[in-house]
Amino acid sequence: MNNKISRITKRYSEDPARLLDVLHDIHSLKGYVDDDDVEQLAIELVLSEATINEVISFYHFFSKTPVGKFSIYLNNSITACFRGREAVKRALEESCGTTFGSVSEDGLFGLFDTSCIGMNDQEPAAIINGLVFTKLTAFRVKELVKGLKEGKPVSELIYEGTGGGNNADKDIQSMVQNNIRKGMLLLNRDYHKFEVLRKELKQHSPLEVIQIVEDSNLRGRGGAGFPTGIKWRFGRRVDGKHRVIICNADEGEPGTFKDRVMLTEFPELVFEGMVIAAYATAADIGLLYLRYEYKYLLRFLNRILGEMRTEGLLGKNAAGIKDFNFDIRIQLGAGAYICGEESALIESLEGKRGEPRDKPPFPVEKGYLNYPTIVNNVETLASAVKIIKHGAAWYKGFGVKDSLGTKLLSVSGDCRFPGIYEVEWGTSIREVIEMCGAEDVQAIQVGGPSGVLIGLKDIDNLGASNLMKWYKPSGMMVAQKFYDRKLSYSDLPTGGSIIIFDKRRDLLQDVVMNFMDFFIEESCGSCSTCRNLPSVMKQKLQKIIGGHGVRQDIDDLLSWGKMIKVSRCGLGQTAANPIVSSILNFRDLYEGHVQAMTDFDNEFDLEKSVQAANNFVGRKSVFHQN
Amino acid sequence: MSKKIIATTSLAGCFGCHMSFLDIDERILKLVELVEFDKSPINDIKVFTRPVDIGIIEGGCCNSENIEVLKSFRENCKVLVSLGECAIMGGLPALRNGIPIEECLREAYLDGPTVSENKEQVLPNDPELPMLLDKVFPCHEIVKVDYFLPGCAPDADLIWNALVALVTGNEMELPYEVVKFD
Ligand SMILES: Cc1cc2nc3c(=O)[nH]c(=O)nc-3n(C[C@H](O)[C@H](O)[C@H](O)COP(=O)(O)O)c2cc1C
């Protein structure tokens, strides 16, 4: 028995539901988890070794083998690629003396790819031993690695000094920039911390709070857009020994980073929202699921929770309300996009692999440890605070009919001013483009890879005959000018990721391929559709790009895109979107690649295919021509 | 009405699909009224003697001969049907696809626990033998295939219904019983 490991499991009362924390602590201790550790954990946490191993293998930031004294995870989002990732990668390989996917011989450096880390407005970015380094260049990589070799602590190597705002806080000390370009209701300095908890909240009964939120028509900002008031009402109705509020800060959709900025600049607003939700639904357990990539915010956020406890805003009789007992714990994720899906997130919170559950039952009925559970996005909870503060009527003054209030957009890609823009719902694509200073726009990805790629072709001379057909997630085709499409739940719904591609970009080869790689990497593997089809579809796309495609291939892609919809969760259901939406909106790119004169091309090469076996058995390849 | 001409073959398969075909039992008499067989193991005709309407392929492609036969089917048949798991997906033979072909050969002829008589370490390399492909391919990755009848082996009723539909030009009957596999 290793005492150090025992001390770690004791720290979490040998609770198997805290397996993620235990594994994180072992990683901090020695960098990876070996078979002996697993054996010991199995005994102390009363889990099977297989269970522990499958959890370790599920998460990107857990490892059974050493990952280097300095483990460097370089983001591979499309924006990083367009901002010079390749040069950074080469510089890293040269100066660390190893290749990506492995550890240098001296055990000093491990180099790994990783999916979008929420820094799309300051790429290329990497995580080194839990700290974020942004705007990397080959030059900076060399300095950085030199510093690490000289034994300087990672935290001292931040080359530009700390970023603005709270990034400079003593408990953050990060070089990450906020890049807040436009604020309205949430990103507003006219915010007095915890004022609503101290004043307005007490003036309403829990049911009144729900009613106000319902009246405001607030809808979930995590992507799905479920009405928040109704979710709270459902959650309150279900009986349970405990009730749970979860704040979803997993923010894994490539291209979003607004939750990061909210948690950096307005963490109080988010926690305040959680307390309000708990009050409204009579919840006693609060959990904020923070993606591992944002670990650098953890100490800061915990400090604020501590302050809230000191001020009586959390704990027994929270916010001075009798018999309202509520506290919040932050759970760190471990690298998995799927853990943003609410039921997978709950599995992960219980210390398991983040595989989505079958629904129903929905989390409001049976969620965390089977208690009724309300999962809300960071932005949703923050909006609820403003609604309680100023009232539903006030809130309805912003936005458009089916989409009220504001939306935080994470804008990145080919534009002069990437960053966070808080806009009213109903803002058009034209306005977004003008706002962020984008020129020569070819296409825009709305809602990240799981959203849609919409085109800009011929915007300047789009005549009546040129009206384009637009695909809507509902499956309806509508004719509409691209420029005037509006961000809203009925036209262009979005969790806020906006990635802009100008005319230099090769949409199929670079963008769509990158997005497909993302889904292939992030599928949890549970449904065969989602596990297999993205790979097969990518192969077919590769075939088309390589000049071997036929028209049938395009039709196959569309029909397989329908088949994948039977997957259990939203990840699988949207995993074909990069291909399907680019076919629908950029069909000519595909047709330009496929062969017109043949209806079959298989790329099969008999001569090549028999080579290996013939070499091995020692015979010549002879072909009969008939 | 002139009878439709049918051809069948088994490539890298086990003949299970052909056996299932014969499971149509007494309907085989009806079949003879509907179709005539050309190249097929059922009548042992080895080469195509005329243009064929419907070619039925069992098995995927694991060697150069399979490729040749499959291509000749495509050339001689108006409609090509992949019959069964192996033709459609590669099936059991495709289990070797994750293993380098050299390793498979070594295991089969040199090092495998059941290899007892190969002291001279002979490997099959007679020029008369078909040449092994590096992977086992489903038929539609070699030639264009028009229809797919899944199953291992496909239910006799599924084969019958498909044939009748193809011959008569009517829509195929696909009740749940003929496509469920448990
Ligand atoms: C693959 C996948 C990833 C998701 N990632 C997130 C995420 O990072 N943050 C989030 O708030 N919601 C995410 N969601 C949506 C959640 O399942 C859930 O709908 C949301 O957290 C509910 O909160 P809301 O109603 O406030 O939007 C994701 C969904 C799927 C299918």
**Cα distance from B25 to chain A (closest Cα, Å)?**
36
Which of A609, A618, A624 is opposite residue B134, by nearest beta carbon?
A: A609
Which residues on chain A are in Cβ contact (under 8 Å) with B123?
616-618
Which of A599, A612, A623 is opposite residue B101, by nearest beta carbon?
A: A612
**Cα distance from A552 to chain B (closest Cα, Å)?**
11
- A-facing residues of B in 78-107 (CB < 8 A) are 100-102, 105
Please check whether residue B128 lies inside any domain of the structure. Answer: no
Task: Find the domain containing B173 and state its range.
Answer: 4-96+135-179
Please check whether residue B146 lies inside any domain of the structure. Answer: yes
Please check whether residue A598 lies inside any domain of the structure. Answer: no
Q: Is A376 in the pocket of ligand 1 (CB under 6 A)?
A: yes
Which of A606, A612, A623 is opposite residue B102, by nearest beta carbon?
A: A612
pLDDT of A626: 53
Please check whether residue B73 lies inside any domain of the structure. Answer: yes
Mutant choice from B62, B70, B133 vs A, greatest count of A C-beta within 10 A: B133
- Closest by CA position to A386, among listed A376, A398, A374, A375: A398
**Cα distance from A610 to chain B (closest Cα, Å)?**
5
Please check whether residue B101 lies inside any domain of the structure. Answer: no
Please check whether residue B107 lies inside any domain of the structure. Answer: no
Count of domains for chain A: 4
User: What are B143-167's pLDDT values in tens digits?
Assistant: 999 999 999 999 999 999 999 999 9
Cα(A363) to centroid(ligand 1), Å: 12
Domain end call among A366, A395, A424: A395
Cα(B162) to centroid(ligand 1), Å: 45
Please check whether residue B109 lies inside any domain of the structure. Answer: no
Q: Is A79 in the pocket of ligand 1 (CB under 6 A)?
A: no
Q: Is A51 in the pocket of ligand 1 (CB under 6 A)?
A: no
Interchain proximity B64–A610, CB inside 8 Å: yes
Residue of A nearest to B106 (CA): A616
Please check whether residue A610 lies inside any domain of the structure. Answer: no
pLDDT of B180: 73
Interchain proximity A600–B64, CB inside 8 Å: no
Q: Is A121 in the pocket of ligand 1 (CB under 6 A)?
A: no
Is there a single domain that holds both residue A347 and residue A216?
yes
Q: Cα A24 vs. chain centroid, distance in angstroms?
A: 20
DSSP B170: P
DSSP B50: S
User: What are A516-554's pLDDT values in tens digits?
Assistant: 999 999 999 999 999 999 999 999 999 999 999 999 999
Q: Is A574 in the pocket of ligand 1 (CB under 6 A)?
A: no
Is there a single domain that holds both residue A35 and residue A86?
no
Is there a single domain that holds both residue A109 and residue A52?
no
**Which residue puts its alpha carbon closest to atom 19 of ligand 1?**
A224
Can you tell me which residue has the tokens 């009402």? A233
Confidence of residue A625 (pLDDT cuts 50, 70, 90): low
Is there a single domain that holds both residue A40 and residue A124?
no
- Closest by CA position to A583, among listed A484, A498, A507, A528: A507
Which residues is A400 bridged to in the sheet?
Answer: A403
Cα(A293) to centroid(ligand 1), Å: 17
Is there a single domain that holds both residue A257 and residue A365?
yes
Is there a single domain that holds both residue A447 and residue A540?
yes
Q: Is A571 in the pocket of ligand 1 (CB under 6 A)?
A: yes
Q: Is A383 in the pocket of ligand 1 (CB under 6 A)?
A: no
- Closest by CA position to A333, among listed A28, A61, A8, A523: A61
Please check whether residue A614 lies inside any domain of the structure. Answer: no
Is there a single domain that holds both residue A449 and residue A570?
yes
Question: In chain B, count of helices (H) and strands (E)?
Answer: 7, 7
User: What is the CATH classification number for the domain harbouring A318?
Assistant: 3.40.50.11540
pLDDT of B177: 82
pLDDT of B181: 65
**Cα distance from B48 to chain A (closest Cα, Å)?**
14
pLDDT of A484: 78
Residues A301 and A172: their CA atoms lie apart, in Å, by 9
User: What is the CATH classification number for the domain harbouring A90?
Assistant: 3.40.30.10
Which residues on chain A are in Cβ contact (under 8 Å) with B102?
612-613, 616
Please check whether residue B10 lies inside any domain of the structure. Answer: yes
Please check whether residue A541 lies inside any domain of the structure. Answer: yes
Q: Are strands A477-479 and A403-404 parallel, antiparallel or unpaired?
A: unpaired
The mean pLDDT of A71-75, rounded to a whole number, is 97
Q: Is A473 in the pocket of ligand 1 (CB under 6 A)?
A: no
User: What is the CATH classification number for the domain harbouring B157?
Assistant: 3.40.50.700
Residues B71 and B144: their CA atoms lie apart, in Å, by 10
Q: Name the pTM for this structure.
A: 0.89
How many angstroms separate the first and last alpha carbons of chain B? 39
Is there a single domain that holds both residue A368 and residue A415?
no
| Strand ranges inside A313-359, DSSP E | 327-332
Count of domains for chain B: 1
Please check whether residue B124 lies inside any domain of the structure. Answer: no
User: What are A488-498's pLDDT values in tens digits?
Assistant: 988 888 999 99
- Are B48 and B182 in contact by the 8 Å Cβ rule? The answer is no
- Closest by CA position to A536, among listed B103, B85, B38, B138: B138
Residue of B nearest to A623 (CA): B64
- Per residue of chain B (182 residues), give pLDDT as tens: 689 999 999 999 999 999 999 999 999 999 999 999 999 999 999 999 999 999 999 999 999 999 999 999 999 999 999 999 999 999 999 999 999 999 999 999 999 998 988 889 999 999 999 999 999 999 999 999 999 999 999 999 999 999 999 999 999 888 888 877 65
- Are A354 and A345 in contact by the 8 Å Cβ rule? The answer is yes
Is there a single domain that holds both residue A186 and residue A156?
no
Domain end call among A103, A125, A160: A160
pLDDT of B119: 87
The C-alpha angle with vertex A208 and arms to A204 and A213, in degrees rounded to 5, equals 115
User: What are A437-459's pLDDT values in tens digits?
Assistant: 999 999 999 999 999 998 865 44
User: What is the CATH classification number for the domain harbouring A518?
Assistant: 3.10.20.600
Q: What is the mean pLDDT of chain A?
A: 93
Residue of B nearest to A615 (CA): B102
Task: Find the domain containing A578 and state its range.
Answer: 403-591
H or E stretch at A182: strand A180-182
User: What are A117-175's pLDDT values in tens digits?
Assistant: 999 999 999 999 999 999 999 999 999 999 999 999 888 888 778 899 999 999 999 99
Cα(A500) to centroid(ligand 1), Å: 23
Interchain proximity A614–B131, CB inside 8 Å: yes
Q: Is A293 in the pocket of ligand 1 (CB under 6 A)?
A: no
Is there a single domain that holds both residue A426 and residue A361?
no
